[in-house]
A = this chain, B = another copy of it.
Amino acid sequence: MYQIRQNIATKEWVVIATSRARRAQEFTQTKERLSGDRPEWDAACPFCPGNEEPAPIEQMRLPAEGPWQVRVVLNKYPALLPEGPRVRHFAGIYRWMSGVGGHEVVIEAPRHNWCMALGTVEEVTQTLTAFQMRGLCLAQDPRIEQIIWFENHGLEAGTSLDHPHAQIVALPVVPYHIRCRAEEARRYFDDTGVCVYCQMVEEELASGERVIAANRDFVAFIPFAAFSPFHTWIVPRRHNPDFLAASAEELSALADILRNVLRRLYFGLRDPDYNYVIRSAPLRDVGREYMHWYATIIPHVTKAAGFEMGSGMFINPALPEESAAFLRAVEVG
């Protein structure tokens, strides 16, 4: 199968070339120790209970009383500084600004060997609730334009610490890439009068062949132009540009479906390294009619290389319909 597919929302093209590839199960990882095989507590881990940093670093914990389930702390090696003015500089043709913003770490569980695939829906909901609570706080800061929530799970996904943790970055600028996506969604809305993400959800539910799971509030599917094997979008059924405006019911439904998909990856492919990201509209320019927040999971079972850097396109050696069928068939209890 040789096809070049376009993602209707992002306008990005992806080469689907399955003859280079392997059947879905051939992406199964060969790692010796899965995340759940780690010890439940590690004396040397800075995120394990008993090793907590002093209070000024901690931004919040859930529950507020008693033993914590989720803690949010300032990143000790931040990419952006929390204090200082947002100042633009111009010198010749160059432009830069002060590196101010937020960079926080969400410790997702006290247990060193926890991960979303192995946690309960309630535990995952706590993490998502912390995401939203800290996001609402950071969004109050007038310097902040964009918030990104993400996790790096495993070495290939760029993590440096085993203990389950996610990150929140609050940026003083809207990334170019996010501006482009907003622009394409706006054009689609102007041309058709509908949100392109709502449209995709409708088409995916109608065809069903790329759907992995669905619940009352969300649909999880492999996009038609998925850029890598098992690349998944989890899109809310309700039109809403802003993750910060997701309801409590939606957070718990997201926890349910995110855990569901991650369990399929964990048990179906032996705990592949992955990133997940929550993509939400820019804070001050939410494109109320055409933007639509969603979560995405990117398992690292192939490597981006020179072609991807030179073209911005990807080569996906797996057919999205087959990847979806494979994940649907995984028994996750």
Query: Footprint of B on A, CB under 8 Å?
Result: 1-6, 8, 10-13, 15-17, 19-20, 77-81, 92-100, 146, 148-152, 156-159, 167, 169, 171-173, 175-178, 180, 196, 199-200, 203, 207, 224-225, 275-279, 296, 298, 303-307, 309-313, 315
Q: In angstroms, how far is the closest chain B Cβ from the Cβ of A20?
A: 4
A60 to chain B, nearest CB (A): 21
Q: Contact at B298–A309, with CB atoms within 8 Å?
A: yes
* Number of identical protomers: 2
Q: Which residues does chain B contribute within 8 Å of A278, judged by CB atoms?
A: 310
* Neighbouring B residues of A12 by C-beta, 8 Å: 175-177
Instruction: List the 3 closest pairs (A to B, CB-CB), nearest first.
Output: A177-B312, A158-B305, A2-B99
Q: Nearest CB to that of A94 among chain B residues? A: B224
* Interface pair A5/B96, CB less than 8 Å apart: yes
Q: Chain A interface mostly helix, strand, loop or mixed?
A: mixed
Chain B's nearest CB lies how many Å from the CB of A302?
A: 9
20 extra A-B contacts, CB within 8 A, seeds A5-B94, A11-B176: A3-B97, A4-B96, A4-B173, A5-B95, A5-B96, A12-B177, A16-B99, A17-B78, A17-B79, A20-B79, A93-B203, A148-B307, A149-B310, A150-B309, A157-B305, A157-B306, A158-B306, A171-B313, A176-B312, A176-B313
